[in-house]
Chains A and B, each alone.
Chain A
C-alpha cells in the first residue's frame, strides 16, 4: 500500500500538484483510518490530505482512477472471460431486480464472448437511462466497450480515441431524442416547456453519467493492459493555469473561461488590499491625539494617514487576428477586471486596421460580455484581414499618439507575426519616449521568437520588457505586477 501511495504521490507531483512531504505522511496516516475496501472513502481520504485546491481536483481524479482502478475495482481483471462474465452477471441480476427480466441471460451471453446484437444493446442502454438504473448502465457500458472500442493491446494512447469510437456507435444524441419523445408521450396532455426542459436536463445528466461509465471502463482496461504508471503519463492533463492559451482545445478553453472569473476576482482583491495596506502614510497627529485620550493622554497607538499612491493609465493595444485572438481576449478580461487599480484603461484592437474599443467596456458589469462584442463590432479590417502591425501602429500613432503621456503604460499584445509587412518600429520607439512603460506580451514560446515572419526582435529594442505570456499563470503574474 505504501509503495502504491508513493507512486501515486509521485504521479500527482508530475501532474503539477504541489504535494509536500507532510501531506504525503498525512495521507499515509489517513489511509489507516478508513476501511480499505471502501474505494470512495479512500478517495476522499487521499483527496483531503493531498489536494488543497479545487482546481487541482480534475488532475487528482484522473490519477486516482488510473492508480486505484485495478486493485480495488476488479477481482476479475486477470482477463479471464469467465470472471468477467460473472461480474456482468451480478450486475445484470441487480437489473433484474429492478424489473429488467431478461438482463441475466444477456449478461451471461456477452460474458461468454458472443455479444448481443447492437439493437439489443441500444435497447438496454435506452432502458437503463430511462429508469436511471446504475447497475444496468455499468453493464451496458462494459458491453459497449467490449464491442465497439476495438482496443488494441500495447498502443500508447490515452483512451480518448476508444471513447470516441464507442460513443459514435451508440448515438447518444439519438438516444436523448428518443428519451425525450418517450417523456413527451408518457405525460397526459403533453409536457409544458418547463417540464420538458427539466426532463431534458435530467436525461442529459444520466447520459453524462453513462459516458463517464464508459470512460472508466476503457481506463480500467488500459490499466490492465499497460500498467498504471504508463497510462498515467498519457492521460495526464495540464492544470488549468498551465494550459497554453494559444493552442488550447475547445474543452480547455471552456475550462479556462471557468477559472478566469475567480482568478480575476482574486487578483482584484489582492491588488486592492496591497494598495490599502502596502505601506503606511505619514503620522496622523490629530487622530493620534484623539486616540490617546482614552489612555490618559499617553499616545500608545499612533495613527497613520492612508497613502494615496498614483494610479497609472493603461493603453492596451491588442492583436485580435485568428492566431492570438483568445489570448487577447483573456488579457483584456483580466485588465478590465482590475481596472479600478488604474486611473483609466483604454483598449485598442487591430488586425491590419485599428479601432478603439474602450466604449464597449463602459458601464458593463461583466468584462466577458464586452469582449464578446469586440469580436462582432470592432472595425479592425483595413485591406485583407491579415495582421499588419506596421499599418496598425502607424494608424494608432496618427490618431491617438498624442494622448500617450508620461503617466501612461502601454501594453502591446501579439505574436508580432507581421506577414512580411513593414514593421514601423519607430512608433514603439516614440511611445517609449512618451510613456512611462512599454511592455510587449507575446503568447508564443520564447524559442519561436524571431523565427519566420515574427519580428518581435525589432520591437523589443524599444520596449521596457518583452514578456512571454503563454498561460494564465504567467498572465496573472504580469498583470499583478503592473498595478
Chain B
C-alpha cells in the first residue's frame, strides 16, 4: 500500500516536470489526469458497462496522459463508438459527436459564417442590435438625425463577430468550458482533403478562423476517431493519434460482455452463445458476426425462453447473427449439419 502511494507521488512529480517541459515546447498541456491509474480506467469502464481488455484501457489511459487523440479501428460492431460514449460517461463529460460522411466540409465540421444573418444585417443598415453587447440596445436609436449608418469598417467588424458564427461540432468541442469527449465517427468516410481539417485540432487543440483569430481550447477534450478501414487514412492523421485496434473479443471477454449487457441470461447460455459465435468466426464468412449481433442474438434467445441451444433452435435464429444467405447456409452446413 505504502509502496503504491510512493510510486503515485513520484509519478505526479514526474508529471509536473513533464508539464513544465511541454509548456516550454509549446505542446498542449495534458492538465490534471482524469484517471488515477490503468486499473482505475478498466474498473471505471467496467462500472459503466463497457468491458475493456488491457489494450483498450491502456490506450485510454495513455490518451489522457499524453493529451493525444485515439484512432480506433476494427471490424464493424465491436464497440468502437461505444467506447467513446462509455469514456464520456466515465469521465462525466459531455459527448460531442461529429458523424463523418462523404462531402463533409469545414462549414459542417468546424464553423460557418451565418450568411443570411450577415446579409440581413447589412441590409438593415443601422448599428447592430446586439453587436456591441446588450448595453447598446435601444439606448440611442436613430440618434440625432445620423442616418448614414455605421462606416464600412465598423460593419465589417460587426458582421465577423462571434454573433454571426455558427459553431459546428469541432469548434464547439474546443470552446466548451465544461469537460467534453469529442467523437469523430467513421473518419474514413471523408475525403483525403477534408481530413486535413482535423489536423490542427488534433495536434494543437485549436481552430484558426481567419476573421477572428485563433480559438484555443481552455480544457483539452478527449478525442476519439473511429474508422471502419474503408480506406487508408493519411500518414499525417495517423501520426498525431494513438492507434487502437479493437478486434473481436476472445471467448472469456465475449461471455462477460453478453452477461453484462443481456439481463436475465443464464451463465450456461452466455457460455454457449460465446462459443458458437467464436466457432462461426473461424469459418470463412462474408461478414462474421459482430459483438452487437451476438448481443442481439442472446437477447432473442432470452426472449424466446430458450435455455440451451440445440441445432434446431440455432438454425431458426441464425439470421439474427448472420446477414447473408450464403453465410447462413454455410454456417448451418458446417456447424449444424446432421443436428
Partner-B contacts on A (CB < 8 A) = 18, 20, 22-23, 26, 29-30, 32-35, 38, 40-41, 44-45, 47-49, 51-54, 57, 192-194, 197-198, 201-202, 205, 262, 265-266, 269-270, 273, 277, 294-296, 298, 300, 365-366
Inter-chain contact A57/B239, CB cutoff 8 Å? no
Tell whether, in the assembled complex, residue A270 and residue B275 are in contact, meaning their CB atoms are under 8 Å apart.
Answer: no
Per the CB 8 Å criterion, the residue count for chain B at the interface is 54
Q: Does B197 contact A (CB under 8 A)?
A: no
What's the Cα separation between A41 and B39 when bound, in Å?
11
Task: Tell me if B191 is interfacial: C-beta within 8 Å of chain A.
Answer: yes
Contact present for A32 and B18 (CB under 8 Å) = yes
Q: Is the CB of A296 within 8 A of B54?
A: no
Taken together as a complex, chains A and B put the C-alpha atoms of A266 and B231 apart, in Å, by 5
| List of B residues within 8 angstroms of A29 by Cβ | 18, 66
- Among B175-183, B253-261, B278-286, B291-299, the one that faces the other chain is B278-286
Q: Judge whether A45 and B58 touch: CB under 8 Å.
A: yes
Among residues of B, the one whose C-beta sits closest to the C-beta of A32 is B14
Closest to A43 in B: B55
B185 within 8 A of A: no
Residues facing A in B227-248 (CB within 8 A) are: 229-232, 235, 238-245, 247
In the complex the two chains form, what is the Cα distance from A429 to B96 in whole Å? 61
Whether B36 is near chain A, meaning CB under 8 Å from some CB there, is: no
List of 3 A-B pairs having minimum Cβ-Cβ separation, nearest first: A52-B238, A44-B58, A48-B242
Q: Is B59 an interface residue (CB 8 A)?
A: yes
A273 contacts B276, CB within 8 Å?
no
Name the B residues within 8 Å of A20 (CB-CB): 235, 239
The complex places the Cα of A275 from the Cα of B34 at a distance, in Å, of: 45
Chain A min CB distance to B56 (Å): 9
Across the interface, do B59 and A52 meet the contact criterion of CB distance under 8 Å?
A: no
Q: Are A33 and B66 in contact (CB under 8 A)?
A: yes
Chain B residues with CB under 8 A of A49: 62, 242-243
A194 touches B314 (CB 8 A): yes
Distance A59 CA – B218 CA, assembled complex (angstroms): 40
Q: Would A30 and B310 be within 8 Å (CB), given that A201-B278, A295-B119 are in contact?
A: no
With A41-B38, A48-B242, A52-B71 given, is the CB distance from A198 to B276 under 8 Å?
yes
Interface pairs (22), CB distance under 8 Å = A22-B240, A23-B239, A30-B62, A32-B18, A40-B54, A47-B243, A48-B55, A48-B58, A49-B242, A49-B243, A51-B243, A52-B71, A54-B229, A54-B247, A192-B339, A193-B335, A193-B338, A194-B310, A197-B279, A269-B230, A273-B191, A365-B326
Closest chain B CB from A59 CB (angstroms)? 14
Query: B275 contacts which of A47, A52, A198, A295 (Cβ < 8 Å)?
Result: A198
Q: What A residues does B102 contact at CB under 8 A?
A: 273
Q: How far is the CA of A20 from the CA of B231 in the complex (A)?
A: 21
What A residues does B59 contact at CB under 8 A? Answer: 44, 48
**With A49-B242, A54-B73, A298-B119 in contact, is A193–B278 under 8 Å at CB?**
no
> Which of A18, A47, A277 has the most chain B CB within a 10 Å cutoff?
A47
Q: Does B104 contact A (CB under 8 A)?
A: no
Question: Once bound together, how far apart are the Cα atoms of A300 and B115, in whole Å?
Answer: 9
Partner of A262, one of B14, B61, B70, B229: B229
Q: Are A45 and B62 in contact (CB under 8 A)?
A: yes
Q: Is the CB of A197 within 8 A of B335?
A: yes
**In the complex, which residue of chain A has the Cβ closest to the Cβ of B61?**
A33
Contact B62 A48 (CB under 8 A): yes
Q: Is B208 an interface residue (CB 8 A)?
A: no
- Whether B337 is near chain A, meaning CB under 8 Å from some CB there, is yes
Please state if A266 and B239 are interface contacts (CB–CB under 8 Å): no
**Bound form: Cα–Cα A192–B68 in Å:** 51
The residue in A44, A201, A366 that gathers the most chain B C-beta atoms within 10 A of its C-beta is: A44
The verdict on B65 contacting chain A, using a C-beta distance below 8 Å, is yes
Report B-chain residues with C-beta under 8 Å of the C-beta of A366.
286
A266 to B73, CA, bound (A): 14
CA distance A54 to B245 in the complex (A): 7
Task: List residues of chain A with CB within 8 A of the CB of B71.
Answer: 52
State whether B243 touches A48 (Cβ < 8 A).
Answer: yes
The interface centre, meaning the residue of B18, B245, B337 with most chain A CB atoms within 10 A of its CB, is B245
| Given A35-B38, A44-B55, CB of A30 within 8 Å of CB of B66 | yes
Chain A nearest Cβ from B338, distance in angstroms: 5
The answer to whether B282 and A266 have CB atoms under 8 Å apart is: no
B239 touches A52 (CB 8 A): yes
Q: How far is the CB of B96 from chain A (nearest CB, A)?
A: 23
Contact B286 A193 (CB under 8 A): no
B311 at interface by CB-CB < 8 Å: yes
Interface residues of B in 284-339 (CB under 8 A from A): 286, 309-311, 314, 326, 334-339
Closest residue on chain A to residue B311 by CB atoms: A194
Q: What's the nearest-Cβ distance from chain A to residue B253, in Å? A: 14
- What's the Cα separation between A40 and B59 when bound, in Å? 12
Tell me, rounded to whole Å, the shortest Cβ–Cβ distance linking A242 to chain B.
Answer: 15
Closest to A38 in B: B38
Whether, in the assembled complex, B198 has its beta carbon less than 8 Å from a beta carbon of chain A, the answer is no
Of B55, B62, B279, B338, which is in contact with the most chain A CB atoms at under 10 Å from its CB?
A: B62
Q: Which residue of A lies closest to B324 (CB)?
A: A365
How far is it, in angstroms, between the C-alpha of A171 and the C-alpha of B336 when the chains are bound? 29
Q: Which residues of chain B have C-beta atoms less than 8 A from A277's C-beta?
A: 191
Q: A52-B239, A54-B229 are in contact. List 15 more A-B contacts (CB 8 A).
A: A23-B239, A26-B68, A29-B66, A32-B14, A33-B65, A48-B244, A49-B242, A53-B232, A54-B247, A194-B336, A197-B334, A205-B278, A262-B229, A270-B231, A295-B116
- Which residue of chain B has the shortest Cβ distance to A51 in the bound complex? B243
A41 to B65, CA, bound (A): 14
Judge whether B165 is part of the interface by a CB distance below 8 angstroms.
no
In the complex the two chains form, what is the Cα distance from A298 to B286 in whole Å? Answer: 51
B246 and chain A: residue at smallest CB distance? A54
Give Cα distance in the complex from A198 to B251, angstroms: 12
Contacts of B334 in A (CB 8 A): 197
> A300 contacts which chain B residues (CB < 8 A)?
115
- Beyond A26-B68, A193-B339, A294-B116, whether A18 also contacts B232 by CB under 8 A is no
Residues from chain B with Cβ under 8 Å of A32 in the complex: 14, 18
- Specify which of A35, A48, A53, A298 lies most central, judged by the most chain B CB atoms within 10 Å of its CB: A48
Instruction: Return A182 CB to nearest CB of chain B, in Å.
Output: 18
Q: How far is the CA of A33 from the CA of B14 in the complex (A)?
A: 10
A41–B54 touching, CB < 8 Å: yes
- Digitize B32-67: 1 where CB-to-A-CB distance is under 8 Å, 0 elsewhere: 000000100000000000000011001101100110
- Which of B55, B119, B230, B309 touches A296 (beta carbons < 8 Å)? B119
Closest CB in chain A relative to B228 CB, distance in Å = 10
Q: B119 — which chain A residues lie within 8 A by C-beta?
A: 295-296, 298
**Cross-chain contact B115 with A295 (CB below 8 angstroms):** yes
Chain A residues whose CB sits within 8 angstroms of the CB of B14 once the complex forms:
32
Which residues of B205-223 are within 8 A (CB) of A? none
CA distance A196 to B114 in the complex (A): 66
Cα of A270 to Cα of B191 in the assembled complex, Å: 9
Which residues between 65 and 106 of chain B lie within 8 Å of chain A, taking CB atoms? 65-66, 68, 70-71, 73-74, 102
Q: Which of A26, A197, A205, A270 is in CB contact (< 8 Å) with B251?
A: A205
CB-nearest residue of chain A relative to B230?
A: A269
A119 vs B56: C-alpha distance when bound (angstroms): 42
| Chain A residues in 8 Å Cβ range of B232 | 53, 266
Contacts of B245 in A (CB 8 A): 54, 57
